[in-house]
Structure 1
Amino acid sequence: MSIRTSLRTPGRRPEWAGRNYSLLTAAAVVTNLGSHGAHIAAVFAVLEAGGSVGDVGLVAAARTLPLVLFLLVGGALADRLPRHRVMVAANALNCVSQAAFAVLVLAGEPRLWQMLVLTALCGTGTAFFNPAAEGMLLSSVSGEHTNRAFALFRMAMSGAGIGGAALGGAMIAAVGPGWVLAVDAAAFAVAGVMRAFLDVSRTAERAPSGGLLSDLREGWVEVRTRPWLWSIVLQFSVVVAVVGVADAVYGPLVAQEKLGGAAPWGVALALFGVGTIAGAVLMMVWKPRRMLLVGTLCVFPLALPSAGLAVPLPVWGLCAAMFLAGAAIEVFGVNWMATMHQEIPEDKFSRVSAYDWFGSVSMLPLATALAGPAESAFGRTAALWGCASLVVVVTALVLLVPDVRRMTRRAAAPVAAGTPAPAGTRDGTSAPTAV
């Protein structure tokens, strides 16, 4: 459903890229440039303050834990309140927490508990921001160009992430991690101002709700009555966990011992990012009719990097595996967003997105904690093969769900914001009905 204004600048952007979509994309580029460098800066800030590898893990967990705790609440609030206000408030919290982190690092040696608290605040802002942002993006486009719009948005984010990581690394080497954190705070401030100008005047008024718990229950009904939705959410709770373990824990160790150190591993990670851009470019021109089937088939290549590390492949082979995995996950991502846009009522976008995000991150802390014991019990090679096998098995199970195989793309038609998606969607059958 579209909530974009009719104001367009001829010759400067395509007709389908309305004001809200353009602001959302530009703001996402700004924040991604800052945050990808800041993640690296936080690690070096801990280490320069005398922290251990375990302390680095604690700070990473402090960022992830609030996502698990507050994502569902954030999704309910974003469907209850104007989404752009939730986004701006979350950006303000991120700005303040990162600015305080920067001041502590620049002023001297920050204490671990201070870094934990500030990182947790930043993670809390992200928990409220993500469902609101995804709901706002899904609401900002309509018509036949949704695929292209989602692909361009994701390509812009991927490019900004690659550039932000490279710029952040260079800045850390040149001026230290404190200034990178300060740049991230400034990026949140700029992006928050941009998002304050989003136009929600055409958004249909929300019906009065029965309270926060009632909103959460309604969101859960939307998820559990759609087998394609809850099966893929469960699938990615496993996929994100094992891929995260392979990339964040086992990958650097294999690179250090077998591939020549951090530099080759950095190149492999960069090739994953390049692959995501290639996948987004492909999806700007390709609109597969069976969106979920194509998207789910493209999850299988995510097993390639883990398998490549298990062998291990030479650097060029690992880079090829990472590139293919990056391209494949982008094809899945665009088709997933197109499916959500088509199937989920506008007034429930953020709540459903919150359950999706929750499923994706919920098992990651546990998997990371079990990575060491799994290596001790089975060996690193067996653990990596286990990661690859889990990706293949859970993805194959999802293909057993009829809606995943049969769901088709409907011909797009402009509709008013807030209107629920039509029911007939899957080869003449009806969409699941919420109860």
Structure 2
Amino acid sequence: MSQPEIRALLRGRRYLAFWLGQVTSTVGNQLTVVVLAALVVPDRGPGVFGLVLAVESAVMGVLLLAGGVVADRYSRSTVMAVADVLRLAGIVGFFLFASQGPLAPLLAAAAVTGAGAALYEPAHRAALAQVVPEELRQQAYALDVSTKRLGSMAGALLAGVLLAGISPPKTLLVDIATFVVSLVTLVWLRLPPVRAAADARADGAETDGADADAPGGLRGMLDEAREGLVEVRRRPWAAVLMLQGTVQVFFLFAPNYILVPMVSQTRYGLSAFGWVSAATLAGSVAGSLLGGRVSSARPGLWAMNALAPCVLTPVCLAVDVPLWVFCAAGAAGSAGVGCFMVLWYSSLQREFPERVQGRVFALEGLASFGLQPIALAATPLLVRFVGTATFAAVAAVVLLGSTYGALAVPGTARFATRVPTRENPAAGEVKNRN
């Protein structure tokens, strides 16, 4: 991704507000995790801290699809603002009950925070189409993915600096300020609802901004959720790649969370995981920026090839290699994931109608990370049963098989359902930017 492309994105006032909100929200999320650990672990123990994170993750998973329905029904900036209010309420609950008092209010605060995340994530992904012209969306996703990585690092560093100088409760007040900044940008943005406008374009008719024929209540939400599922089923390549995400949670993401810090510290010393984490972060940022520069008729093929280096980390878990090789493997794998995510998210936005994108992104998040808590719990048990080397070898085989096996499904190589024609150049004319 080039500097002129970044400048072109940030010149737009709407995108600039959207991007600033995302940056502060990402910093705030990481601050929350670090400060919450500092508040909970000393007084309540690591078990309670794990329970708090589990409740937050579980509530997010349960409500994610409902969050997608809401994002498609109402203004996405308003939905994100409501999500920030919920997360603010959860942080206030952490402030009051993290260190002392009954456990139930603390878990309730975690549940509220998870509900806010379930609203925020689908709306955030889908809103990008409303603030960025189509020709810049891939670049916008590249900036989005890289910003999230850098924002997480900045949030962790800021938390460390603040905790070294002030108490955890006061640090949590700084965390609250980041969500206030995000909330202000979203209130200013005021994106209109997309559903009525999309229906009007499809029907060739004017509308007053509401879908009078849509059923309300729980039945209406279930019908809309079903519509999102139908849209995904009409595109088998998208459904298969979402299933691929579920498989790779068990054999890539969860093992990376559990095994990489364990193995790196055992082999190379306590400081080794810091070097591995830094290399992984740098690779992710580089890969996402590279993804913004890919212009091909077969972005899916690029994306699958980008994922292939992820197999290097399981190999390094199974084989004793020097620390620099371990770091390089982590960097290469995370670069591939970053590149894949940019191409994948931008293709979903091209392929699916605007009016269902909130539900599509919710389904994608649910498929990719809904089972992550189970995978995190199962990985140590599997490793204890079969051994690290055997588990890593199986993971490597599954990763390669699920990556290149997906290319057998029509549409995967192009990340599109229809073959591009001269009348449909947006589906993928080859342009060389190099």
For the structure 1 residues 377 and 407, does the alpha-carbon distance in structure 2 shift closer, same or farther, using more than 3 Å as the test?
closer
| Residue among 82, 85, 104 paired with 2:78 | 85
For the structure 1 residues 129 and 407, does the alpha-carbon distance in structure 2 shift closer, same or farther, using more than 3 Å as the test?
closer
Residue type matched to 2:258 in 1? Answer: V
Residue type matched to 1:167 in 2? Answer: L
For the structure 1 residues 375 and 189, does the alpha-carbon distance in structure 2 shift closer, same or farther, using more than 3 Å as the test?
same
Corresponding position of 1:245: 254
Alpha-carbon distance, 1:127 to partner: 0.6
Q: CA RMSD in A?
A: 2.6
Matched, 1:94 2:102: no
CA contact (8 A) 1:295 1:332 kept: yes
| Residue among 324, 328, 341 paired with 1:333 | 341
Structure 2: distance between partners of 1:58 and 1:101 = 14
Higher alpha-carbon deviation: 74-83 or 279-288: 279-288
Corresponding position of 2:168: 177
Corresponding position of 2:19: 25
| Residue among 383, 392, 397 paired with 1:389 | 397
CA contact (8 A) 2:9 2:15 kept: no
Matched, 1:359 2:353: no
CA contact (8 A) 1:49 1:110 kept: no
Corresponding position of 1:278: 286
Moved over 6 A (4+): 408-413
Residue type matched to 1:287 in 2? Answer: S
CA contact (8 A) 2:89 2:112 kept: no
Alpha-carbon distance, 1:40 to partner: 2.3
For the structure 1 residues 15 and 187, does the alpha-carbon distance in structure 2 shift closer, same or farther, using more than 3 Å as the test?
closer
Matched, 1:310 2:335: no
Instruction: Kindly provide the CA deviation profile for residues 31-76 of structure 1, in whole angstroms up to 9, marking residues without a partner as x.
Output: 1112113212223322211413x33332221121012100011101
Structure 2: distance between partners of 1:112 and 1:394 = 42
Residue type matched to 1:86 in 2? Answer: V
CA contact (8 A) 1:93 1:122 kept: yes
Structure 2: distance between partners of 1:397 and 1:15 = 36
Corresponding position of 2:204: none
Structure 2: distance between partners of 1:312 and 1:182 = 44
CA contact (8 A) 1:272 1:323 kept: yes
Q: How does 1:9-20 map to 2 (within 5 A)?
A: 13-14=7-8, 17-20=11-14
Q: How does 1:60-79 map to 2 (within 5 A)?
A: 60-79=53-72
Residue type matched to 1:225 in 2? Answer: R
SS in 2 for 1:403: coil
Corresponding position of 1:148: 139
Q: Percent identity?
A: 28
Residue type matched to 1:383 in 2? Answer: F
Residue type matched to 1:330 in 2? Answer: G
Structure 2: distance between partners of 1:411 and 1:92 = 46
More helix by share: 2
For the structure 1 residues 84 and 30, does the alpha-carbon distance in structure 2 shift closer, same or farther, using more than 3 Å as the test?
same
Alpha-carbon distance, 1:229 to partner: 0.7
Matched, 1:345 2:338: no
SS in 1 for 2:148: helix
Alpha-carbon distance, 1:207 to partner: 4.0
Structure 1: distance between partners of 2:21 and 2:174 = 15
Residue type matched to 1:226 in 2? Answer: R
Matched, 1:254 2:245: no
Structure 1: distance between partners of 2:334 and 2:66 = 31
Matched, 1:194 2:185: yes
Instruction: Kindly provide the CA deviation profile for residues 322-367 of structure 1, in whole angstroms up to 9, marking residues without a partner as x.
Output: 1112211111111112211211101111011110011011221111
CA contact (8 A) 1:30 1:187 kept: yes
Matched, 1:49 2:43: yes
Instruction: Kindly provide the CA deviation profile for residues 339-397 of structure 1, in whole angstroms up to 9, marking residues without a partner as x.
Output: 11211101111011110011011221111121232122111232233333322221122
SS in 1 for 2:123: helix
Structure 2: distance between partners of 1:137 and 1:170 = 32
Residue type matched to 1:123 in 2? Answer: G
Structure 2: distance between partners of 1:319 and 1:236 = 24
Unaligned runs of 5+ in 2: 1-5, 198-208, 430-434
Alpha-carbon distance, 1:195 to partner: 0.6
CA contact (8 A) 2:300 2:412 kept: yes
Structure 1: distance between partners of 2:25 and 2:286 = 22
| Residue among 213, 226, 233 paired with 2:222 | 213
| Residue among 381, 401, 406 paired with 2:409 | 401
Structure 1: distance between partners of 2:228 and 2:176 = 32
For the structure 1 residues 267 and 96, does the alpha-carbon distance in structure 2 shift closer, same or farther, using more than 3 Å as the test?
same
Alpha-carbon distance, 1:149 to partner: 1.9
For the structure 1 residues 96 and 315, does the alpha-carbon distance in structure 2 shift closer, same or farther, using more than 3 Å as the test?
same
For the structure 1 residues 214 and 94, does the alpha-carbon distance in structure 2 shift closer, same or farther, using more than 3 Å as the test?
same
SS in 2 for 1:270: helix
Corresponding position of 1:419: none
Structure 2: distance between partners of 1:339 and 1:404 = 11
CA contact (8 A) 1:17 1:149 kept: no
SS in 1 for 2:8: coil
SS in 2 for 1:14: helix
CA contact (8 A) 1:80 1:206 kept: no
Corresponding position of 1:418: none
Residue type matched to 1:150 in 2? Answer: Y
CA contact (8 A) 1:67 1:361 kept: no
Unaligned runs of 5+ in 1: 1-11, 414-421, 428-435
Corresponding position of 2:302: 294
How high is the TM-score relative to the length of structure 2?
Answer: 0.85
Corresponding position of 2:432: none
Structure 1: distance between partners of 2:343 and 2:160 = 32
CA contact (8 A) 1:16 1:141 kept: no
SS in 2 for 1:152: helix
Matched, 1:123 2:114: yes
Instruction: Kindly provide the CA deviation profile for residues 254-307 of structure 1, in whole angstroms up to 9, marking residues without a partner as x.
Output: 13321202x211221122111121123323433233111211221222232232
Residue type matched to 2:95 in 1? Answer: A
For the structure 1 residues 319 and 370, does the alpha-carbon distance in structure 2 shift closer, same or farther, using more than 3 Å as the test?
same
